[in-house]
Every structure is written in structure tokens, then in C-alpha cells.
């Protein structure tokens, strides 16, 4: 028995590197102005540390790149498809697996089949594309996260939990309008917070009792399972894959973006048990994505995902992953920067409502903070607040539940010194946050406005 050391290291070393382009503050002020003050409009080469998203931005492993060489591009029945299907079913043993090019394609297919006018879809919290696809079908997207999940400062081990009382009350009055209940693991819009196994069991029991389908939005299933392993009583002795399989056994299906935990640069799937719904979904798939053994993906993508799935549940990786996100969050918290607590799995969420309390939510405090982080240090983050969620289906604009700025950490991509730099920049910007201006939107599209809106500072 040797000494146990406390430093948690990356369980990998670097094999191939990408250069970063250094920029000056003056260049960045010009670049964000030219981008209409929308970080999605920047050229990525003008970004130094890109924390816009953890989606599709992770580093693939040597074994994933090797798997790509095995990609078989047969139109139908490729061996790459069978490897992918087996890897998905190993963790999520649903009867039907329907490959899509990314998560939102799975959502579009599912909600175009089960959604529609007059329907209500409950979720702990819909992410932006999920909400948009529910609403595009004519249905209502209803968020039912527990009260603790709506307060940035409240510490709770499973802040992503569904409010089971509220779910049951809704099913009692509107059961016939509810085709499916969705639980998002982890809860991305609410701080990357996990959902407990007990809560998932509870949702499952309620759905079975009322005879409605229960689906997972499972993009970050491995991170969620790690939190269950670490925080939930009786779970620490189990294998991560075993926890994932139990979660899957409690549900009737899932939508998935494979650009998150499975280390894909692209990919997704829809999986479910119901034969009839699966047939309807496959018919839509053939219209919009492709033949059912490739969906929207190349054979080589299917291979990379099959390999990535097996890496996503490895405990050494997950320990490092969750610890390195906490490292950033804990340092900011210690420096007095308000963050959503506890720290989530894939990202640290800055509380812009507190930090920029001089601004009204309709002056977009989160957007203002995100712009300032870019100007100061070339860090690209993402507003998750009134810009993202403020426009209502009836056309009105309402403040979102929280004004957050998400620093999403791409998987296996940045080192500790990149993160130390982020800590320095965020702490500096936070120290002068009260001097940051509000913004007004000068252009917005009809749906998912945050991706293409343009802003002007209110001076």
C-alpha cells in the first residue's frame, strides 16, 4: 500500500495539439462590435479560451481516431452501425435505436410524432432546442424543477430534481394532454445540476401509474451517474455503467446529443421501446435524416461514438472531469464571484443577476457580462437567461428564472493553466461588474433568438 496523493490528474497525456491565436483587447473590442455583440457571431480564431459550449468541442481519444479508420460507409447495414447500436444498447437497452445527426434532430422527430397543439410536455428544465422543438410542434413546454433548482445560491446535492408533487398534480388534472414526461440529466439550463436516482425512480413510478411515457434527455448521463455515485446513499459501490443501465430501465426512451458525454464531434440518437412510435419516428427519420442504419451520420462517426461511449463511463475520467469543473467554480467562489452552487458537471455558471444587479433583466445582464469577459480576456461564454429564454410563445418578453453566464468546459481539451487564466480574467471583470452597461436587442429572429440576435450597448 503506497501513499495516496491528493492531486487528481488528467488520466491522459497530450498526443496532438492545436494552436491558439493570441489577440489584443483592442482587436477583441473590434471583433465583438462587428459581431453585433453576439458571441455566436465571432470567428472562433478570435477566441482564446472557448467556453461557449461543451458540445462537439471535446478532444477525441487515440482509440476514437483509430476507430474512425474502421468506418464502413455502406448505405445500409454497415458494420459500423451494428457496433454503434451495440454500444448504445450496452448502456441504454431500449428496443429501438434511431441514429440522428445531433440531439435536436432526435427531439424534432420525437415531438413531431407525440407533440402537437393542446399537448403539454413536462421536463425538469427544457434546454433551448428542446423547448423550441416542443413549441414548434404546437405543444407547451412546462418546467417543473424543484424550488431549490431556481435559486443560484441554495446548496442541494440534486438541484436538477423534478418536483414530484407538481408533476403528479399536473398529471391529475391534465393526464390526457401529456404524451411524455422528460427528465434532463444533468439539468443544463439550471446549472448542470444532477438528478438523483431516487428522483428518477419517483418520476418513473408516477408516469407508470398515470400511463404516460417517460423519456430521458440524457446528453450528460455519465456525469449525472458520477454525481449519483458520489452523493447518493448506497450508490458508491456500484459501477457507473450499472447506474446508467438502471436509469435507462426506469424510462421508456431517450433523446440524446452524442456531442456531450460520448465525446462525439457530431451525433445523436433517439431510443425507445414502443414499436408503433418507433415506426412513426423512423418514417420521419427517412424523410429528414437518412436510412435507419446511419441516420444523419457517416459510418466513421458511428465508430467514434461507439468507442467514446465506452470511455465516457470510466471512473478515472469522470473523477478528473467533475473535479476539474469544480476547481474553476471553487476558485471563483473563493474570490467572491457569485456562482451557481454546488458546481455542476460540465460548466460553471456565473450569477449575472447578482453580479450586475444595477441592470434590469430586460437589459440583459448575462449578455453584458459575457461580452465583457470576451473583451477583457478573449473568453467566450454563453448567456443562459433572458436573452435565451425571454421571448414567450404569446410574443411578450419576460425575465427568465435566472440570469446565468455559462462557462462550459470542453472535455479533455484545456489544461489547468488555461483554467487559471480564466479564473484571473473572470475575477478581474467581476471586480468592475457594476460599471458594465446594459444592452438592447436591435435584431431578433422568430425562434431561438440568442443564436443570431444583435445587440447595442445602452450608453
CA distances from 67 to 87, 224, 417 (A): 13, 26, 31
Measured from the CB of residue 183, what is the shortest distance to ligand F0G in angstroms? 10
If one asks whether residue 129 binds ligand F0G (CB under 6 A), the answer comes out as yes
Q: What does the per-residue mask of binding to ligand F0G show for 34-73, with x meaning CB under 6 A?
A: -------------------x-x------------------
Cα distance between residue 165 and residue 167, in whole Å: 5
Look at residues 256, 290, 295, 276 and name the one whose alpha carbon lies nearest to residue 99. 295
Burial of 310 (0-12, 13-18, 19+ CB in 10 A): middle
Closest to ligand F0G by CB, 78 or 188: 188
Number of Cβ atoms within 10 Å of the Cβ of 160 = 31
137 binds ligand F0G (CB under 6 A): no
224 binds ligand F0G (CB under 6 A): no
268 is an interface residue for ligand F0G by CB under 6 A: yes
Interaction between residue 123 and ligand F0G (CB under 6 A): no
What's the closest the beta carbon of residue 191 comes to ligand F0G, in angstroms? 12
Stretch that binds ligand F0G, among 63-71, 97-105, 166-174, 305-313 (CB under 6 A): 97-105
**Site string (189-218) toward ligand F0G, x via CB under 6 A:** ----------------------------x-
The footprint of ligand F0G on this chain (CB under 6 A) covers a number of residues equal to 15
Q: How far is the CB of 369 from ligand F0G (least distance, A)?
A: 17
104 interacts with ligand F0G by CB under 6 A: yes
Three-state DSSP class for 310?
helix
- Nearest residue to the partner ligand F0G, using Cβ: 103
Contacts of 289 (CB under 8 A, 6+ apart): 99, 100, 101, 105, 109, 295, 296
Could you identify the residue written with the cell 466513421?
A: 300
Distance CA 240, CA 354 (A): 36
Q: How open is the CA angle 243-342-359, to the nearest 5 degrees?
A: 135
264 makes contact with ligand F0G (CB under 6 A):
no
Which residues of this chain interact with ligand F0G, rule CB under 6 A? 53, 55, 102-104, 127, 129-130, 184, 188, 217, 219, 257, 259, 268
Amino acid at each position: 500500500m503506497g501513499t495516496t496523493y491528493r492531486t487528481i490528474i488528467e488520466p491522459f497525456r497530450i498526443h496532438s495539439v492545436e494552436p491558439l491565436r493570441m489577440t489584443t483587447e483592442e482587436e477583441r473590442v473590434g471583433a465583438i462590435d462587428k459581431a453585433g455583440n453576439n458571441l455566436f457571431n465571432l470567428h472562433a480564431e478570435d477566441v482564446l479560451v472557448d467556453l461557449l459550449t461543451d458540445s462537439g468541442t471535446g478532444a477525441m481519444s487515440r482509440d476514437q481516431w483509430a476507430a474512425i479508420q474502421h468506418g464502413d460507409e455502406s448505405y445500409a447495414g454497415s458494420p459500423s452501425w451494428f457496433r454503434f447500436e451495440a454500444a448504445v444498447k450496452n448502456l441504454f437497452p431500449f428496443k429501438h435505436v434511431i441514429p440522428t445527426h445531433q440531439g435536436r434532430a432526435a427531439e424534432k422527430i420525437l415531438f413531431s410524432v407525440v407533440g402537437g397543439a393542446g399537448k403539454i410536455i413536462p421536463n425538469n428544465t427544457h434546454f433551448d432546442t428542446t423547448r423550441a422543438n416542443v413549441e414548434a410542434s404546437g405543444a407547451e413546454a412546462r418546467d417543473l424543477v424543484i424550488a431549490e433548482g431556481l435559486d443560484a445560491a441554495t446548496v442541494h446535492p440534486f438541484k436538477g430534481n423534478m418536483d414530484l408533487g407538481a408533476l403528479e398534480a399536473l398529471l391529475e388534472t391534465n393526464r390526457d394532454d401529456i404524451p411524455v414526461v422528460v427528465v434532463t440529466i444533468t439539468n443544463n439550463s439550471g446549472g448542470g445540476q444532477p438528478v438523483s436516482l431516487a428522483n428518477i425512480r419517483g418520476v418513473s413510478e408516477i408516469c407508470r401509474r398515470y400511463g404516460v411515457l417517460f423519456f430521458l434527455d440524457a446528453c450528460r448521463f455519465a456525469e449525472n451517474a458520477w454525481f449519483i455515485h458520489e452523493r447518493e446513499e448506497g450508490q458508491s459501490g456500484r459501477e457507473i455503467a450499472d447506474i446508467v443501465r438502471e436509469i435507462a430501465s426506469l424510462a421508456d426512451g431517450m433523446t440524446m446529443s452524442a456531442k456531450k458525454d460520448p465525446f462525439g464531434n457530431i451525433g445523436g440518437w433517439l431510443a425507445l421501446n414502443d414499436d408503433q412510435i418507433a415506426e412513426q419516428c423512423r418514417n420521419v427519420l427517412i424523410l429528414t435524416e437518412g436510412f435507419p442504419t446511419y441516420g444523419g451520420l457517416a459510418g466513421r462517426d458511428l465508430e467514434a461514438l461507439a468507442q467514446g461511449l465506452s470511455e465516457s463511463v470510466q471512473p478515472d475520467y469522470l473523477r478528473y472531469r467533475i473535479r476539474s469543473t469544480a476547481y474553476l467554480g471553487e476558485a471563483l467562489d473563493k474570490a467572491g464571484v457569485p456562482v451557481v452552487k454546488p458546481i455542476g458537471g460540465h460548466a460553471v455558471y456565473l450569477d449575472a443577476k447578482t453580479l450586475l444587479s444595477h441592470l434590469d433583466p430586460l437589459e440583459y445582464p448575462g449578455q453584458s457580462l459575457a461580452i465583457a469577459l470576451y473583451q477583457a480576456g478573449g473568453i467566450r461564454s454563453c448567456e443562459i437567461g433572458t436573452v435565451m429564454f425571454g421571448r414567450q410563445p404569446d410574443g411578450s418578453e419576460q425575465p427568465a428564472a435566472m440570469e446565468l453566464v455559462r462557462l462550459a468546459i470542453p472535455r479533455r481539451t484545456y489544461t489547468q493553466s488555461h483554467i487559471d487564466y480564466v479564473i484571473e480574467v473572470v475575477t478581474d471583470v467581476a471586480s468592475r461588474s457594476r460599471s458594465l452597461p446594459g444592452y438592447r436587442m436591435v435584431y431578433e429572429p422568430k425562434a431561438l433568438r440568442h443564436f443570431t440576435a444583435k445587440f447595442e450597448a445602452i450608453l
